[in-house]
Amino acid sequence: MAHVEGQQHPISVYLKIWGLLFVLSAMSYAVDYYHVESYLRWTLILLFMALKAGLIIAVFMHMMWERLALVYAIVLPPVFVGVFIIIMSLEADNTLFSRMTFFNIGT
Amino acid sequence: MAEQTLTDTAGSVSQPEGWDGIVADWSSDQRAFKNVPWGKAMMWIFLLSDTFIFSIFLLSYMTVRMSTTVPWPNPSEVFALSFGGEPIPLILIAIMTFVLISSSGTMVLAVNYGYRLDRKKTVFWLLLTALGGLTFVGMQAFEWSKLIHEGVRPWGNPMGAAQFGSSFFMITGFHGFHVSVGVLFLLLVARKVWRGDYEHQRKGFFTSRKGSYEIVETMGLYWHFVDLVWVFIFALFYLW
């Protein structure tokens, strides 16, 4: 018989997280449904997104039970994506500024 | 069985935790990722690379949306759907989100019953997960044909900025492809569990290595990742 070693946790944990993900999805949909606008909208969307992503990674993908050597090897590299986002949003602002300055003359 | 012995040894020796644990794991001989089968470690590294691919798609979408002088089409209206009455905003996307999250939940149950060596229940939940994936892809196909019918193309659309179409087809297309491949592999794993491959130590046709129920968990990692990517697409593309 094959020896089994892996992530085993009570099913009730998964069911609770599943329910929580449903609630969070419903809430992010409600943001759109009730036309919440501007900064409140973006804050809420990002908040629900981060919570959902965190729950999926931590519980469904068992990251909270793994050894730190693996956790940091996988979770830290995406920090570079954050740096890239900052660089590209500066670049996009610059492009928009150039387009408005040089393409819209006379309009 | 050499691999099993290794796993056992790594599990039974007491290992330091916290920062000491990180230093000890990474400076040790043989393997940095203790207590984790190699297939699972490799799946995590693949998912990390996939994270970068999807990040770059979403980044380029952010860049074109921020820099265009033409107004961006309102996703809430573009993806609205009416069932005879008033159009309900984003309703199809909301249903797709719930379907995908549910299939993630059934996948977790499949992994759990796999470790309990309950073959029938594992197969049942795996097949239900695959069904959820198929439903999702089906609704996406419906959404694509609806948008194409309304004149949305990668190079332009009647609602606003031309970049809307290219971002939409690229991002959701790549994600839908991931879901489709996932469904295929779910069915393959379900077949192996059904035959009892992981209990009879039957060798795989491609790798000719013996599998175990850890493969169900590795498959689960991929499936949850697909769900994870959708969380970001839903927030940043559809809701923004």
Q: What is the pLDDT of residues B154-164, one digit of tens each?
A: 998 898 899 99
Identify the pLDDT of residue B3.
46
Asked if residue B31 and residue B57 are part of one domain, the reply reads no
Q: Under a CB-based contact definition with an 8 Å cutoff, are residues B97 and A25 in contact?
A: yes
Asked if residue B23 and residue B49 are part of one domain, the reply reads no
For B210, phi then psi, to 5°, come to: -80, 135
Asked if residue B96 and residue B145 are part of one domain, the reply reads yes
- B2 has pLDDT over 50: no
- A106 has pLDDT over 80: no
Q: What's the pTM value of the predicted model, to 2 decimals? A: 0.89
Identify the pLDDT of residue B231.
95
- Work out the burial of residue B100: count CB atoms within 10 Å of its CB; fewer than 13 is exposed, 13-18 middle, 19 or more buried: buried
At a CB cut-off of 8 Å and minimum separation 6, what does B150 contact?
B157, B158
Asked if residue B135 and residue B42 are part of one domain, the reply reads yes
Asked if residue B45 and residue B28 are part of one domain, the reply reads no
Asked if residue B162 and residue B104 are part of one domain, the reply reads yes
Identify the pLDDT of residue B107.
95
Which pLDDT tens digit goes with each residue over B75-120? Answer: 888 888 888 778 888 889 999 999 999 999 999 999 999 989 889 9
Identify the pLDDT of residue B18.
85
Other CB atoms within 10 A of residue B25 CB: 21
Mean pLDDT (chain B, rounded): 89
End-to-end CA distance of chain B: 52
What whole-number distance in Å separates Cα of residue A66 and Cα of residue B36? 8
Closest CA to B182 of B94, B74, B106: B106
Give the whole-number percent of chain B exceeding pLDDT 90. Answer: 61
Asked if residue B137 and residue B25 are part of one domain, the reply reads no
B74 touches chain A (CB under 8 A): no
Asked if residue B189 and residue B96 are part of one domain, the reply reads yes
Q: Using CB atoms, which residue from B22, B48, B224 is nearest to A60? A: B224
Q: Per residue in B63-80, is it b (16+ CB within 10 Å) or e — as a string?
A: bbbbbbeeebbebbebbb
State the total domains in chain B. 2
B184 touches chain A (CB under 8 A): no
B80 touches chain A (CB under 8 A): no
At a CB cut-off of 8 Å and minimum separation 6, what does B215 contact?
B39, B189, B192, B198
B228 touches chain A (CB under 8 A): yes
Asked if residue B138 and residue B85 are part of one domain, the reply reads yes
Asked if residue B96 and residue B1 are part of one domain, the reply reads no
At a CB cut-off of 8 Å and minimum separation 6, what does B13 contact?
none
Domain holding B2, by residue range, is 1-35
Asked if residue B123 and residue B60 are part of one domain, the reply reads yes
CB contact under 8 A, B231 and A52: yes
CB contact under 8 A, A2 and B44: no
- A6 has pLDDT over 80: no
Asked if residue B145 and residue B73 are part of one domain, the reply reads yes
Identify the pLDDT of residue B49.
96
Which pLDDT tens digit goes with each residue over A11-64? Answer: 899 999 999 999 999 999 999 889 888 899 999 999 999 999 999 999 999 999
At a CB cut-off of 8 Å and minimum separation 6, what does B222 contact?
B43, B47, B182, B185
Chain B contact set for A4 (CB, 8 A) = 115, 117, 212-214
pLDDT class of B5 with cuts at 50, 70, 90: very low
Identify the pLDDT of residue A2.
41
- B131 has pLDDT over 90: yes
> Would you give the DSSP letter of residue A107?
-
Question: Coil, helix or strand for B224?
Answer: helix
Q: Which residues, listed in sequence order, are joined to residue B153 by a DSSP beta bridge?
A: B156
Residue numbers of B between 7 and 46 with CB closer than 8 Å to A: 7-8, 11, 15, 17-19, 21-22, 25-26, 32-37, 41, 44-45
- Find which of A3-7, A74-78, B17-21 is predicted with most confidence, using mean pLDDT: A74-78
At a CB cut-off of 8 Å and minimum separation 6, what does B85 contact?
none
Task: Supply the ipTM of this predicted assembly.
Answer: 0.90
- B71 has pLDDT over 70: yes
Mean pLDDT in residue range B202-212: 78
* Token pair listed for B190: 């379900």
Identify the pLDDT of residue B6.
47
State the Cα torsion B207-B209-B212-B213 to the nearest 10°. Answer: 0
Mean pLDDT in residue range B181-193: 94
